[in-house]
């Protein structure tokens, strides 16, 4: 293999630039030509492809977002779009790909290989930490710390005004950000998609706190919680408790995606980027590079896409114990 390309796809995540840097500099070290593809599969279709060098990735390890930009391409979901993408890769002589993204990115790469035989090795770039085959994904640690900083500040206001705050964090299908930021932020309750938490249990937790003269509470809610979003949950609870309790809702939203990556995310992204590149060089294809028990492993895309990554129930148990 002489020429490879790297791209980012799907939602951006802090640490993606560190991963791009590792792929590019690893390729240069190993004597490969390396190209960057802007805007993911959309750029692949449109031929937005350029050669990169070690200098191309100078001074980016500390930057959030992705210098290669990102996009979700509906056209790549069609056979015609994938044909255009393959033609562009042929034009540049690209023989293999490193894809930094999540489930959608890896699904596209799997179909692309089945049709055209272009091997891809993935690096898990998503703040949700919801990919099977790695303990942590690129951007997750930074997102947790961003959420935690907000929770700490909201705690000050909650305590000053004797309020209940319902804080909604990202995680449409995964409660990893909610559970870790909730534990670190001393939340009284954490609600996640993986485990149903009835409204009655939330009310009971709040009443138990009031009986112990607890005047303020923080409830962290993942956006995919079955009982609804933070606003809906607060309204359900308000209907069941005394009306003079001051309740507020804060949705953290996309601030969790941006920002300077933590040291952990920079190191993780560098390991995964180099691992993805060297896996590709060694004949790996249609796999994701991940870190499990601090060891580099490769997991087939089909398993990464198909298999769930459950939350450790000990973490949920910890929330109950520590909120007493």
Is residue 228 a known part of a binding site? no
Is residue 111 a known part of a binding site? no
**Alpha-carbon distances of 49 from 262, 267, 277, rounded to whole Å:** 29, 27, 18
Report the distance separating Cα 284 and Cα 50, nearest Å.
24
Report the distance separating Cα 109 and Cα 41, nearest Å.
9
The answer to whether residue 128 is catalytic is yes
Report the distance separating Cα 179 and Cα 222, nearest Å.
8
Is residue 105 a known part of a binding site? yes
Is residue 98 a known part of a binding site? no
Report the distance separating Cα 30 and Cα 24, nearest Å.
10
Is residue 82 a known part of a binding site? no
Is residue 255 a known part of a binding site? yes
In the set 128, 130, 141, 265, the catalytic residue is 128
Is residue 103 a known part of a binding site? yes
Is residue 302 a known part of a binding site? no
Number of neighbouring beta carbons within 10 Å of residue 140: 31
Is residue 22 a known part of a binding site? yes
Number of neighbouring beta carbons within 10 Å of residue 203: 15
Is residue 256 a known part of a binding site? yes
Is residue 74 a known part of a binding site? no
Is residue 215 a known part of a binding site? yes
Is residue 212 a known part of a binding site? yes
Nearest to 51 by CA among 40, 39, 36: 36
Which residues have C-beta within 8 Å of that of residue 279, sequence separation ≥ 6? 121, 287, 289, 298
Is residue 169 a known part of a binding site? no
Is residue 306 a known part of a binding site? no
Report the distance separating Cα 30 and Cα 20, nearest Å.
15
What residues are designated binding site for substrate?
A: 126-128, 163, 170-172, 223, 248, 254-257
Indicate which residues carry an active-site annotation. 128
What residues are designated binding site for Mg(2+)?
A: 103
What residues are designated binding site?
A: 11, 21-25, 72-73, 102-105, 126-128, 155, 163, 170-172, 186-188, 212, 214-216, 223, 248, 254-257
What residues are designated binding site for ADP?
A: 21-25, 155, 186-188, 212, 214-216
What residues are designated binding site for ATP?
A: 11, 72-73, 102-105
């Amino acid at each position: 293999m002489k020429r490879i390309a790297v791209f980012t796809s799907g939602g951006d995540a802090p640490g993606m630039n560190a991963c791009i840097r590792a792929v590019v500099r690893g390729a240069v070290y190993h004597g490969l030509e390396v190209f960057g593809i802007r805007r993911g599969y959309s750029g692949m279709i449109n031929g937005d492809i350029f050669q990169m060098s070690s200098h191309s990735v100078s001074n980016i390890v500390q930057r959030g977002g992705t210098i290669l930009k990102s996009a979700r391409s509906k056209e790549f979901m069609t056979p015609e779009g994938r044909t255009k993408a393959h033609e562009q890769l042929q034009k540049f002589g690209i023989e293999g790909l490193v894809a930094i993204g999540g489930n959608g990115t890896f699904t596209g790469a799997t179909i692309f290989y089945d049709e055209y035989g272009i091997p891809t090795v993935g690096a898990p770039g998503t703040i949700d930490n919801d990919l099977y085959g790695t303990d942590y994904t690129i951007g997750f640690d930074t997102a947790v710390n961003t959420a935690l900083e907000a929770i700490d500040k909201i705690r000050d206001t909650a305590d000053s005004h004797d309020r209940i705050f319902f804080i909604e964090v990202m995680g449409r299908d995964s409660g990893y950000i909610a559970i870790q930021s909730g534990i670190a932020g001393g939340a009284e309750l954490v609600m996640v998609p993986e485990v149903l938490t009835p409204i009655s249990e939330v009310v009971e937790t709040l009443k138990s706190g009031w009986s112990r003269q607890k005047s303020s509470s923080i409830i962290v809610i993942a956006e995919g919680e079955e009982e609804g979003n933070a606003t809906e949950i607060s309204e359900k609870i308000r209907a069941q408790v005394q009306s003079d309790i001051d309740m507020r809702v804060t949705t953290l939203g996309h601030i969790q995606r941006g920002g300077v990556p933590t040291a952990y995310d920079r190191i993780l992204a560098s390991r995964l980027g180099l691992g993805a590149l060297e896996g590709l060089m060694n004949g790996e294809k249609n796999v994701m590079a991940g870190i499990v028990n601090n060891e580099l492993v490769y997991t087939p895309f089909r398993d990464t896409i198909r298999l769930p990554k459950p939350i450790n129930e000990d973490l949920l148990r910890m929330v109950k114990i520590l909120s007493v």
